[in-house]
Structure 1
Amino acid sequence: MIRKLLATGSVLAAMAATPAAAADISACLITKTDTNPFFVKMKEGATAKAEELGIELKSFAGRVDGDHETQVAAIETCIADGAKGILLTAADTSSIVPAVKQARDNGLLVIALDTPLDPIDAADATFATDNFKAGELIGQWAAATLGDKAADAKIAMLDIAISQPTVGVLRDQGFLQGFGI
């Protein structure tokens, strides 16, 4: 998580080379929710860095996990407000792409955080965990921990969203491969 918070600060710093150059620069942070502790910390880190650089940071979040429509509305607001860039943790990695394209077409720098967009090149850059590798490592650990009992293990996959964001799919598939399935 620390690396992601640092990456968020680095992205804000890239939007303004120096604090003096940051005057009149605004950026947007759009997270999946404002209740998940991970996104709360991300917002705190981004807010602190924006203040340090003199960037006006506008924050938006979905009402609930998977709230794609609120994120699209936030992107449209950022475009209308003249923001220079958007830091985005997409609730729906493919449905958000037309709004991201609109932002980029209007000259905004769009950086995907935590969750790569689908396709990944829809954003200007991505700072995210390799979720397949994370799942694979967890699967390897689980198999090693169970030892001989791994052959008889019953595995259930529980995902938070019906739409199966790529994070969940990649973690699931990585886990299964790491577990040896």
Structure 2
Amino acid sequence: MTSRNTVRIAAICCALTVGLTSVAACNRDGGDSGGVKVGLITKTDTNPFFVKIREAAKKEAEAKGANLVALAGKFDGDNEGQVAAIENLVSQGVKGILITPNSSSGILAAIKKARDAGVIVIALDTATDPENAVDATFATDNKEAGRLQGAWVKGALAGKAPKLLMLDGTPGGTVDTFRHQGFLEGIGLTENSPEVAGKENTNGDQTKAQTAMENLLQRVPDANSLYTINEPAAAGGYEAAKKAGKAGQLVIGSVDGSCTGVRNVKAGIIGATVLQFPAKMAEQGVDAVVAFAQNGTKPSGFTNTGSQLVTDKPVAGVPSKDTAWGEQNCWG
């Protein structure tokens, strides 16, 4: 990682750079309004999911008269960058930090230091391991989201035995683990089931997913189903399958709920996706930090911000909404 850059505070926006990709939200009045300072650290600043979290957090902070400083890792999995971001936010005097951890366990020491310094820390989207390493978590029930994806894929196979490929995310992340486990539960398989024909990690990146899928299809050309950690991975997997002339043989499920993902469901690129509500995570996180700063109230435990299967090909026993609903409720 590059060395820590100098903090610069401009008249319009606070720009903070710590050798990782960073974005700082503007104060409502264009300067330091003296309001509560809230830190936000996302996995990256390019994935539409995290862009939505940042936008929603900024809007909610402005509505509460708070100041948001938002940072992001260089890539999905950049734990070192997030550790540096926590240290810098604490030095900036934030009252609370909202974080989507790149590593659910690797970030724990930095979180403990922040909490020991009196800073409230709230996980968004991705739980820490253990979960009580933070004050609270606002997130999708990712095991349930994975289970919904798996149950739909099982139904869409219409009685055919699965020959399953899995495009996973980043090792060590609770989101990745929970979705993977939930999917297997939903489709009725275990980790060692012979029907699980191949797995690759993608870091949730479309380009990496396409390369991974190309490799998987070379080994398992007759695969008939595909689990994906998120919609960029699904898009990459589909492109690889399309180039190999095998897209038509695959039932593809995913999780996210971006407007691009919902459009891909509508176009038949993804069979179904599980929509999440990142704005709720951000809004509730900001509100909790402001409440803590105002009266010392601390949130605790896990708050499920909800999920919904979206598909135009419903299957029996799996509640779903169509893409018209999805287009009205998607993000990004």
Cα separation, 1, equivalents of 2:46 and 2:175: 18
Instruction: Report matched runs for 1:36-51 at 5 Å.
Output: 36-51=47-62
8 Å CA contact retained: 2:150, 2:184:
yes
8 Å CA contact retained: 2:105, 2:172:
no
Tell me the equivalent position of 1:19: none
1:166 aligns with 2:174: yes
Q: From 133, 147, 162, give the equivalent of 2:158.
A: 147
Q: From 87, 91, 105, give the equivalent of 1:80.
A: 91
Cα separation, 2, equivalents of 1:80 and 1:23: 16
Cα separation, 2, equivalents of 1:35 and 1:60: 12
Cα separation, 1, equivalents of 2:105 and 2:61: 28
1:27 aligns with 2:35: no
Instruction: Report matched runs for 1:1-181 at 5 Å.
Output: 23-149=34-160, 151=161, 153-161=162-170, 163-181=171-189
Q: Structure 1 counterpart of 2:179, which letter? A: R
SS at match of 2:169: coil
Q: Structure 1 counterpart of 2:124, which letter? A: L
Cα separation, 2, equivalents of 1:166 and 1:116: 6
Higher RCO, Cα 8 Å, sep 6+: 1
4+ aligned runs moved over 4 Å, structure 1: none
Cα shift at 1:144: 1.1
Larger strand proportion of the pair: 2
Q: Structure 1 counterpart of 2:110, which letter? A: A
CA shift digits 1:45-90 (9 cap, x unpaired): 1111112222111110001111111110010011111110000000
Cα separation, 2, equivalents of 1:142 and 1:63: 33
Cα shift at 1:118: 0.5
Larger helix proportion of the pair: 1
Q: Structure 2 counterpart of 1:158, which letter? A: L
Under a length normalisation based on structure 1, what TM-score does the superposition of the two structures give? 0.83
**Where in structure 2 are there 5+ consecutive unaligned residues?**
1-32, 190-332
Q: Structure 1 counterpart of 2:47, which letter? A: N
Cα separation, 2, equivalents of 1:86 and 1:39: 15
SS at match of 1:156: strand
**Bigger Rg, which one:** 2
Cα separation, 1, equivalents of 2:57 and 2:159: 46
